[in-house]
Amino acid sequence: MTTMLRISQLMEPSEPSEGGAWGPHKVSEVVAATDSVGFFKEQGLFYQEDATVGAIVNALDAQGLSGTNEGFKFFTGYLFGDARIRPILEPYLKHPNPQSSSIFSADPGHTFAFSTAPEEAGRVVIQVWSTGSRMEFYEKSHAKKLKGFLSANGLLEITRASLKMNGCDSISVRMDKGGIAILHPKLAFQILEGFTNTYGVQIPMVRQDDSESAKES
C-alpha cells in the first residue's frame, strides 16, 4: 500500500540530516550544550533564530540605541540564559565588554569579515539580528587565508575569488523573528536582508611580565 504524503509535509523544509549542523534557522540540536564550546572553536560560528532577541533589536533601533555599547546590556540576560550560548560567551561576559559596537545593514553581493589577521585569540563577534533578517555565512572561512580590502563600512570586503579558491561554501540562514550569531572575527558573512547590531567582545590578554609579577607577589 502506497503512503500518500500531505502537501504540507512536502513543502516543509527538511531538518538537517543526522550529523548535519547547519539548519536554516539555527545550528541543529545535534550540537548539545555540552558540545557548543568545542563546536564553536572548530567552526568559528554559532547562530539561532530567537524572537526575544529580534524584539530587543527592533526596540533599541526605535530608541536610537542601535550600534551603541549601551544597548548591549539588554541582551546579557538572554546570553546567560541560553544553555548552548552561555558556555561560549561566559569567559567574555566575565570581563568589561563590549569593546566596540556597530550597526550593519543589508548589502547583497558583498561579503565581509572583521579581520584577516593570522591570529585573533581571545576575541569574538556577537551579531544580534532584526526581524526579517537573511544572511549567508561562509563555512570554515575563519581558518583560511582570505584576501580582502577595506570597505567604506569599516569592514574588510572578501573577494568571491578568495572564497571560491579556499572552498568556503555558503550557509544560508533566515531569521524571520530575529536572532543571534556568534562569529570568529575572520569568519566571512553577507547580509541579504535586515540589519544587525554587532558587538566586539574580548578576554584581556595577560602579558608574560604581568603574570611573573603576580607570581612574585
**CA 198 to CA 66: how far, in whole Å?**
9
pLDDT of residue 94: 93
- Nearest 5°: the CA angle 118, 123, 125 is 105
Q: Which residues pair with 111 in a beta bridge?
A: 158
Whether residue 85 contacts residue 212, with contact meaning beta carbons closer than 8 Å, is answered with no
Q: Which residues pair with 191 in a beta bridge?
A: 135
Q: Which range of residues forms the domain containing residue 155?
A: 36-204
pLDDT of residue 211: 43
Residue 84: CATH number of its domain: 2.60.120.620
Name residues whose C-beta falls within 8 Å of residue 49's C-beta, 6 or more positions apart in sequence. Answer: 25, 26, 174, 175, 176, 177, 178, 179
127 is written with which cell numbers?
A: 551579531
pLDDT of residue 119: 75
Name residues whose C-beta falls within 8 Å of residue 111's C-beta, 6 or more positions apart in sequence. Answer: 136, 138, 157, 158, 160, 163, 188, 189, 190
Residue 2 lies in a domain: no
Residue 1 lies in a domain: no
Residue 138 lies in a domain: yes
Count of domains forming the chain: 1
Tens of pLDDT along the chain (217 residues)? 444 434 333 333 333 443 489 999 999 999 999 999 999 999 999 999 999 999 999 999 999 999 999 999 999 999 999 999 999 999 999 999 999 999 999 999 999 999 998 877 899 999 999 999 999 999 999 999 999 999 999 999 999 999 999 999 999 999 999 999 999 999 999 999 999 999 999 998 754 444 444 445 4
Name residues whose C-beta falls within 8 Å of residue 102's C-beta, 6 or more positions apart in sequence. Answer: 67, 154, 197, 198
**CA 190 to CA 112: how far, in whole Å?**
6
Residue 54 lies in a domain: yes
pLDDT of residue 133: 99
Neighbours of 58 (CB within 10 A): 16
